[in-house]
Copies of this chain bind each other. A is one copy, B any other.
């Protein structure tokens, strides 16, 4: 196993901004071989689980919540690109969800677990509320190809501190929902089901729904607001228009997409995905203020996709495209600049 392979799987900008401690990242960087990756992060997760359990026993609830969340995040990175060993990946995925579920009551603000029944399946999500009297505006957070509702804790904290409630959920192909429903061509039906639910919550102001989607979730967010005009505002953070440059995407992205369709043949998966993941002319249908962020150095959804986004956005006055010249995929390498900006933009649109 070459260092290059380990470097490819390591993504320090993303990992550290989402909450991985430097020490854990640094130890991972020094692994001899990428085959140690899953075990390393699982061991790390187990240690945090133990710390979390000790803290619970001692009544140290703030630390308990944070350590169990660290356990969840460590399990996340154990399995996030582990498509070649599905049994391990699935056990890592389940452990990740379980750790977050245990952390949730102790997070500040509390993450309230919600299970929305939709067409015989469950859409799992977490609602977090800002301090103070509601009803609050609420931002629906959509994960990506392998990112899920458990990863946005730090991002949610930024929202909550600025007066925005958050609802992060797993849709088709994501996190817990993957076990029941693989990638679908109609993600917007799931985000609309989330709004149907949030409309029943008196703490939330249903005139002030926002959505923010990350990576593949950026694609889903654009699709969602184009087809459900209850969303008052949208952020697409590192998305794409369609799969027409499928052949140029990195192998691990291919593998991930194919895995999450549940289709064994990569060729068939590719055909399914090119139909399922295509915005077509949907950007023209967007009627809410929409902020699209791309990194000029994105190696996953490349300049080709940014150009496709640019030309569609150019025709729609509701949409603005920001391309960070130094940014990588989702501009994770400059997270501390772009993340507060996106949250401020949402907050300026929804809170005031």
Q: Which residues of A contact B (CB under 8 A)?
A: 12-13, 16-17, 21-23, 26, 51, 55, 58-60, 62-63, 66-67, 70, 108, 131, 158, 161-162, 333-337, 340-341, 343-344, 347-348
Q: Give 15 A-B pairs besides A21-B336, A63-B343, A131-B131 with Cβ atoms closer than 8 angstroms.
A: A12-B22, A13-B23, A16-B22, A17-B21, A17-B22, A22-B22, A51-B337, A55-B344, A60-B340, A60-B348, A62-B162, A62-B340, A62-B344, A63-B344, A67-B340
| Majority secondary structure of chain A interface residues (helix, strand, loop or mixed) | helix
Q: Which of B13, B51, B59 contacts A22, CB < 8 Å?
A: B13
What distance in Å separates the Cβ of A39 from its nearest Cβ neighbour in chain B?
19
| A348: B residues at CB distance < 8 A | 58-60
Instruction: List, in ascending order, chain B residues with CB within 8 A of A340's CB.
Output: 55, 60, 62-63, 66-67
Q: A23-B13, A55-B344, A344-B55 given as contacts; is B334 within 8 A of A62 (CB)?
A: no
Residues of chain B contacted by A335 (CB below 8 angstroms): 21, 23
What B residues does A67 contact at CB under 8 A?
A: 340
Bound CA–CA A161/B157 (angstroms): 13
Closest to A345 in B: B60
A43 shortest CB reach to chain B, Å = 14
Q: Please measure, in the bound complex, the distance between the C-alpha atom of A337 and the C-alpha atom of B333, giving whole angstroms.
A: 25
Contact of A344 among B58, B108, B336 (CB under 8 A): B58
Residue of B nearest to A340 (CB): B63
- How far, in whole Å, are A336 and B47 apart by their CA atoms in the complex? 12
Across chains A and B, which 9 residue pairs bring their CB atoms closest together, nearest first? A21-B336, A16-B22, A60-B344, A63-B340, A62-B162, A63-B344, A62-B161, A12-B22, A23-B334
